[in-house]
Amino acid sequence: MKVTVVGAGVVGTLHAWQAVERGHEVVQIEREAEARGASLRNFGQIWVSGRAGGEELRTALRARELWEEIGGRVPALGFRANGSLTPVRGELERAVAEAAVARPDAAARGYKLLTPGEARAVNPALRGAFDAALYCERDAAVEPRTAQRALRAELLKHPHYTFLPGREVREVVGERAVRDDHGDVHASDVVVLCTGAWLGGLVRELAGPDLPVRRVRLQMMQTDPLGEPLTTSVADADSFRYYPAYASAALDELNARQPQPETAAAHRMQLLMVQRADGGLTIGDTHEYEHPFAFDTVEDPYDHLTGVVESLLGRPLPKIRRRWAGVYAQCTDPARVVHRQQVREGVWLVTGPGGRGMTCAPAIAEKTANDLEW
């Protein structure tokens, strides 16, 4: 077959990977010189711990297997099975962690509730005060700023893969063909549009105004090297409030009796933290849903996150090297991992994985390939 993939973010690149792996000829088109959206502006987490039970968890676990397999072939991905720790303080937060460990799928996630001493044996950098920590053994990480480049470098070794950067697809021409802004028509057996947070223009024309996908904005930051290993990803108990795996009566009690601090609530915040290959820490994040999004970043969320991190590490943060904002596309149907829609004969739109994009992209692409019988 000949497959055209539009978009070179993580979802598009993994679709190209699946097609090449199955022996097909692939043309991948990207409107920028290289992807610059949410696929780079994230934590690089393969985040199994917070996923909803059922299809979402199955997708994340399968993606975790695929990431490890691909990482073995492409060391530049920086894949590492680092797991995660979520320290908790007080009875209310501990009760949510205990409810998570009691889930029927806890073993599949690798959940364990650790004492402070056990948690520090896993991650000695956590010298701050906490009462227990939820450990998720199945969590992992890759390097988000370089992952797409590493995958593409591997794809370019195949004679039947072509990458066309700096071209924006403007229209679908007849069946199974698209025209780019250079005037070139790309005909194939199937076209997959993996357009990320680009939901206007051609996407709106093809999918209509009722596309069940919204855009979400977030703020993040990265530090200078920590000077020591942070051996796991780290979250705080506010993450319980934003991930479906933690829904429980205990979480309802936490929300009722211990609301978030004002800044965290105003910006819908949680702490997620991952160490990069150079030793720096990627730290976030916030959630903004209402359009129009702000064009600037604000300092209060960064101040809040700095305080939370320093309380867990028991030491000052290194200098902040970068701050940034990003926008990703999120399917508004909570029962779906991604929005997958045939928009024309032989043309499919795959978008809206939300914060699951880096985690689930390999399995999302595999399912597309299986469903379309590539």
The pLDDT confidence band at residue 279, using thresholds 50, 70 and 90, is very high
Percentage of the chain beyond pLDDT 90 is 97
Q: Identify the pLDDT of residue 63.
A: 98
Could you report the per-residue pLDDT of 68-84, keeping only the tens digit for each?
A: 999 999 999 999 999 99
Q: What is the pTM of this model?
A: 0.97
Residues 356, 362, 365, 369, CA torsion sign: negative
Distance, in Å, from the CA atom of 108 to the CA atom of 266, rounded to the nearest integer, reads 34
Backbone region of residue 44 per phi and psi (left: phi > 0; alpha: psi in -120 to 50; beta: other values): left
Distance, in Å, from the CA atom of 178 to the CA atom of 152, rounded to the nearest integer, reads 22
Helix ranges restricted to H, the chain: 10-21, 55-73, 90-101, 106-109, 116-122, 144-155, 202-207, 249-257, 262-266, 299-313, 357-371
Average pLDDT along the chain: 97
Distance, in Å, from the CA atom of 43 to the CA atom of 34, rounded to the nearest integer, reads 19
Judge if 1-80+140-212+333-374 and 84-137+213-331 fold alike in CATH terms: no
At 145, phi and psi to the nearest 5?
-70, -20
Distance, in Å, from the CA atom of 310 to the CA atom of 330, rounded to the nearest integer, reads 31
Q: Which of 203, 194, 213 has its CA nearest to residue 13?
A: 194
**Structure-block tokens of residue 295:** 């064009």
Q: Identify the pLDDT of residue 320.
A: 97
Instruction: Calculate the CA 181 to chain-centre distance.
Output: 30
Q: What share of the chain is helix, strand, coil (3-state, %, to 5)?
A: 35, 25, 40
Distance, in Å, from the CA atom of 204 to the CA atom of 167, rounded to the nearest integer, reads 19
Q: Identify the pLDDT of residue 65.
A: 98
Instruction: Yes or no: say if 10 and 358 are a contact pair by the CB < 8 Å rule.
Output: yes
Crossing angle for the helix pair 357-371 and 55-73, to the nearest 10 degrees: 100
Q: Identify the pLDDT of residue 369.
A: 98
Q: Identify the pLDDT of residue 3.
A: 98
Q: Identify the pLDDT of residue 180.
A: 98
Could you report the per-residue pLDDT of 20-60, keeping only the tens digit for each?
A: 999 999 999 999 999 889 998 999 999 999 999 999 999 99
The pLDDT confidence band at residue 344, using thresholds 50, 70 and 90, is very high
Distance, in Å, from the CA atom of 3 to the CA atom of 374, rounded to the nearest integer, reads 9
Instruction: Yes or no: say if 109 and 138 are a contact pair by the CB < 8 Å rule.
Output: yes
- What are the sequence ranges of the domains in the chain? 1-80+140-212+333-374, 84-137+213-331
Q: Which of 255, 261, 257 has its CA nearest to residue 240?
A: 255
Instruction: Yes or no: say if 358 and 67 are a contact pair by the CB < 8 Å rule.
Output: no
Q: Identify the pLDDT of residue 236.
A: 98
Give the architecture-level CATH label for domain 84-137+213-331: 2-Layer Sandwich (3.30)
Instruction: Yes or no: say if 113 and 135 are a contact pair by the CB < 8 Å rule.
Output: yes
262 burial class (0-12, 13-18, 19+ CB within 10 angstroms)? exposed
Give the mean pLDDT of 291-307.
95
Give the mean pLDDT of 125-137.
98
The pLDDT confidence band at residue 365, using thresholds 50, 70 and 90, is very high
Q: Which of 136, 140, 148, 139 has its CA nearest to residue 41?
A: 148
Could you report the per-residue pLDDT of 307-329, keeping only the tens digit for each?
A: 999 999 999 999 999 999 999 99
Q: What's the fold here for domain 1-80+140-212+333-374?
A: FAD/NAD(P)-binding domain (3.50.50)
Beta pairing, strands 2-6 & 25-30: parallel
The pLDDT confidence band at residue 137, using thresholds 50, 70 and 90, is very high
Q: Identify the pLDDT of residue 144.
A: 95
* Cα-based distances in Å from 198 to 142, 168, 194, 339: 24, 11, 9, 14
